[in-house]
Amino acid sequence: MTNGCKYNDYQAESYSGAYPTIPDPELDQEVIYQFFIQCIRQWEPQDVLDEFENIFIHLSCPDSLRVVEAITNIIESKQEFIFINTLKRVCYILINNWYINRKHQYVQKLIDLLEETQEDESIAIDQNLNRLGNWLRNFFNSAEYQTIKNCALKSKKDWSHRYTSYLLVPEYIDNDENSKEQKEFARNLSKQLKDKYKFDLAMYVARSNSTAILGERRTNPTQLGDEVIQLIKKTISTQRISSYTQQAKLFLRDTQDLNYAEFKKALPEYLMIANNAPFPINKVREKLIKKLDFIYTHYEERTINKGLIIRTCNRLIETLTTEDNKTPSPIFTLLTTHGNPLTLVIMLLKIVLICSAARTYLELCISKLIQQYQDYEEHQCQRLIHFLEVFNLVFTIFTENVQFHLVKVPERQASPLMSSLDSYQVFCQSKGPDLRGTNLKGVNLSSLELRGADLRDSDLSEIELVQIDLRLANLSGVNLSGAILDQSQLLVANISEADLSHASLLATDLRRADLSRTNLTNANLTKATLDLANLRQAKLTHANLVEASLNATDLSDADLCGADLQNVNLRGANLTGVNLSYANLKGANLQDANLAGANLSGVNLSHVDLSHANLSNANLEATNLYRVNFTHANLSAANLKNANLSEANLRSANLSYANLNSAILRRANLNRAVIIKAQICNADLTRAKLIEVELSEANLAYAQIRHANLTNAKLFKTNLRGANLFGSNVIDAIVKEAKFGNNSGLSDDVRRCLKLRQ
């Protein structure tokens, strides 16, 4: 073992006292619990797992005779249920601690160990070991073991595994049979699953506002398909919500002095159940009023209080979900069958907003509904599943620490087919701690929860934030000059107009972050991930972006003058109007990138992949484009004067109206390229491939076209005066009204064939 501190007999005696003459099962259990609690704090996980195997499978414990005596006493007492409870609680002690400390692999190892033990059917000679084997086999066949497996592995084969966060609620609510550790584990795991859903939903919403990366799979955490965005818009639109939270506050304020009878009469209107509502809402109103008239009638003259509100809300929740803790209530069935489940969910939301204490009871009722149907096939439970999906979505929007906003997009033109909400986009922001203006210098930030934090107006210059979780944080306008943010998480963070000059962001995750108009001068972004980030008008002069990933990132009008972009991934990026002058883009991936109007003068683009890229009107004057891949690229009207395009692949590229004067195109592949009306005077096209190239009305005066392959090249009205065509097969080109004169390298036979004057 590698642990530094052994748990010895002396330590056991320090809390248990002298070993009693008469075995005490509860004391024996406590000895074992305390042993593992201390082991897990001090030992390596594998050592703890080994000790678990020694004690519960082999009845040995080299590090504590007291623990051996305790487990032996339990075995010899022939009280199987005590052994099962002890084993179960120890499992939860280990699982809970390993989950909290993110050592998930040891949870799996524990399950693997138990599964291997389950397969062992050998009979032991020792009586205690034989009895232990029988008890273990009974345990493996029990519901308790299946619960441990399902919790530990967080998965089930049926559809209900998607709602494990609710199925765990009975494990920690009103369940006296479960140990403290089991309850704690179930509660923590339920929260973890809800947090994951919440974050996945926020990321999905963020993706919906961006152009997807080619081949990217947008993970939708709901089962609602693409309609989830429209449902979010509908739910949070201003015409549907004058703030449900505000409505709840006003209702509680207006009813605080009423008696209970008056409070019950006010509830239907608060729940938006109008008196003259159509079917099925009119039936819902009748049933709820009947329920309210019946409950707690002996309290009707009393002034409303918190206890009565809780009890009333719990009864309403039962009426709306399940009244027998098993089957759906009549109202639930009515609304999910004949109406929209959103109506039911909003009613439940409004109940929880006036009584937060009822939230857990609501989740308990939902867990009962899931349990009732989890053995059915998924297609048989579609109405329940649809309700659960809408419920998850709405309660995440209104009761969790993430805010969803509708923002009108002005540039989107309206269409007769568009709905009133189509011109809006959904944006989300985490409601983290408000730390605006806080002095964080010298603070141990690893101890703070900064996800979604509002840090505006804070001075964070030269602060160290290594490996900090700042997802969805608001850092707009913050001074982060010289800060160290290496390996931190800034997904979907708002860092617009911030000062990150000279900051270190080594391997930092900035996916979908808003960095518009941010100052990143001389910043180190080596291996940073900026996929789908917003860097519009950002200042990145002399920044280090070596091996960074900027898939589909918006860099329009950004300043990257002198930046180091070697081996950077800019596939599908928006680089319109960007200044890349004197930047180093050697080995970069610019496939499908939009570089329209970009300034690339003096840039090193050797060995770069620019296939399918848009470089129309781009400035590439005197640029090194040696061996660059421009297949199918759009270079129309681009300035390529004096550029080095030696051995570049321009197959099927569009170079119409481009300026290629004095460009070097030696051995370049221009097969099937379109170079209509381009200026190519004095260019060097020696040994270039020009098969089926379209050069109509192009100006190639005094160009070097020696040994070039012009098979089926279209030379309609092309200016070839003074061009050197030595060794080229111009005779195999399609020549019509081309202009020749003072040409070198044309034999008399070729001249006669082209009908040129001697």
Residue 5: is its pLDDT beyond 50? no
Q: How far apart are CA 54 and CA 64, in angstroms?
A: 11
Q: Is the pLDDT of residue 476 over 60?
A: yes
CB-CB contact of 335 with 280 (8 Å): yes
724, 703 contact by CB (below 8 A): yes
Q: Which of 45-59, 411-425, 614-628, 688-702 has the lowest mean pLDDT?
A: 411-425
- Mean per-residue pLDDT, 182-194: 80
Residue identified by tokens 């012009």 is 710
Establish if 16 belongs to a structural domain: yes
Give mean pLDDT, residues 276-297: 87
Residues 508 and 384 in one domain: no
* The domain boundary residue, chosen from 377, 392, 427: 427
Would you state the pLDDT for residue 125? Answer: 61
At residue 71 the predicted structure's pLDDT band, cuts being 50, 70 and 90, is confident
| CATH number (domain holding residue 482) | 2.160.20.80
Domain shared by 143 and 216, yes or no = no
Residue 184, both tokens: 């704690």
- Is pTM, for the whole model, over 0.75? no
Q: How far is CA 387 from the centre of its chain?
A: 24
CA–CA dist 401, 407 (Å, integer)? 19
Residues 468 and 410 in one domain: no
H or E element: which one contains 734? strand 734-736
User: End of a domain among 127, 153, 179?
Assistant: 153
Residues 436 and 421 reside in one and the same domain: no
Residue 243 has pLDDT above 80, yes or no: no
Answer whether residue 552 is part of any domain. no
| Domain-terminating residue out of 539, 560, 575 | 539
Mean pLDDT estimate for the chain? 84
Q: Which residues contact 401 (CB under 8 A, 6 or more apart)?
A: 430, 431, 432, 452
581 closest CA partner among 612, 629, 624: 624
In a domain, 718, yes or no: no
Q: Are residues 53 and 188 in the same domain?
A: no
143 φ, ψ (degrees, to nearest 5): -65, -30
Q: How confident is the model at residue 56 (pLDDT cuts 50, 70, 90)?
A: confident
Q: Any idea which of 12-16, 177-181, 335-339 has the lowest mean pLDDT?
A: 12-16
**Lowest mean pLDDT, pick from 75-84, 178-187, 307-316, 630-639:** 178-187
Residues 462 and 479 in one domain: yes
> Each residue of 572-612: pLDDT tens digit?
999 999 999 999 998 899 888 999 999 988 888 877 888 89
Domain presence at residue 320: yes
8 Å CB contact between 151 and 185 = yes
- The pLDDT assigned to 573 comes to 92
List of long-range contacts for 564-571, beta carbons under 8 Å, 24+ apart = 571/213, 571/214
Percent of the chain at pLDDT > 90 equals 41
- Asked if the structure places residue 568 within a domain, the reply is no
- The β-bridge relationship of strands 402-408 and 424-430 is antiparallel
**Higher per-residue confidence, 147 vs 667:** 667
Top mean pLDDT of 10-19, 88-97, 173-182, 502-511 is at 502-511
Helix (H, G, I), strand (E, B) or coil at 404: strand
Same domain, 145 and 195: no
How far CA 491 is from CA of 192, 204, 468, 531, 532, in Å, comes to: 19, 12, 12, 10, 10
3-state secondary structure of 529: strand
Which of the pair, 41 or 413, is modelled with greater confidence? Answer: 41
pLDDT at 375: 81
Report, as an integer, the average pLDDT of 525-529.
96
> What percent of the chain is predicted at pLDDT more than 70?
85
Say which residue the tokens 């270039």 belong to.
688
Are 336 and 268 part of one and the same domain? yes
Same domain, 48 and 186: no
Buried b (16+ CB within 10 A) or exposed e, 94-120: bbbbbbeeeeeebbeebbebbeebeee
Is residue 20 in a domain? yes
656 is a domain residue: no
* Whether 168 and 298 share a structural domain: yes
The answer to whether residue 395 scores a pLDDT higher than 50 is yes
Place 213 in a pLDDT band, splitting at 50, 70 and 90: very low
Q: What single-letter DSSP state applies at residue 73?
A: H
Does 384 share its domain with 262? yes
The token duo for 105 is 């692999």
φ and ψ at residue 230, rounded to 5 degrees: -65, -35
Domain assignment present for residue 704? The answer is no
Strand segments (E) across 37-195: none
Domain count of the chain? Answer: 3
Are 148 and 170 contained in the same domain?
A: no
**pLDDT score at 17:** 42
In sequence order, the 6+-apart residues with CB closer than 8 A to the CB of 110 are 49, 52, 91, 94, 95, 98, 152
Give the range of the structural domain holding residue 58, as residue numbers without chain letter. 9-153
Confidence of residue 348 (pLDDT cuts 50, 70, 90): very high
